[in-house]
Structure 1
Amino acid sequence: MKTFTAIIERDAQTKLYVGYVPGFPGAHSQGETLDELQQNLREVMEMLLEDKEPVLKS
């Protein structure tokens, strides 16, 4: 099992949590709660990993 770190912020205008995984192109999402955001990011990453192994950038 791989572990990735996500950067999470709360958008002051929309009140949504937004997050992305640095160095993992396409791994970004949003959610009304932290739990929803975490689930959304997990689903996005699973889809990206199904397509191919990510090219991590440093």
Structure 2
Amino acid sequence: MFYTIKAMIYQGEESGFVAECVELPVVTQGATLDDVIRNLREALALHLEGEDLQALGFVARPPISVNFEMEPIYA
């Protein structure tokens, strides 16, 4: 059973940011981090609407855990 919905955020190839869920087939994008987080919440809500979360292996009302992937800066 999954306690959280896990997602990764990384920079898009050309611009903006991409959010991709680990366990669910949900991917979205946004121009800013705030946009991509808002879009991720909306995409997850639409994807899970009417679904039985326990049948999918999640606890009721699971929180979303987000990791942000950044390029290293070298001096």
User: TM-score band (shorter)?
Assistant: 0.7 to 0.9
Q: TM-score, normalised by structure 2?
A: 0.59
2:8 equivalent in structure 1: 7
**Cα shift readout 1:3-39 (whole Å, capped 9, x = no counterpart):** 32211110242x11001111102x1100011110001
Q: Retained in 1: the 8 A contact 2:5–2:23? A: no
| Deviating 4+ runs (over 2 angstroms) | 53-56
Which sections of structure 2, spanning at least 5 residues, go unmatched?
Answer: 58-75
Aligned length: 53
Larger Rg: 2
Kindly indicate which of the two structures has a greater share of residues assigned to strand.
2
Tell me how large the CA RMSD over aligned residues is.
1.9
Which sections of structure 1, spanning at least 5 residues, go unmatched?
Answer: none
User: Identity rate of aligned residues, in percent?
Assistant: 30
Q: TM-score, normalised by structure 1?
A: 0.73
Q: How does 1:10-49 map to 2 (within 5 A)?
A: 10-13=11-14, 15-25=15-25, 27-49=26-48
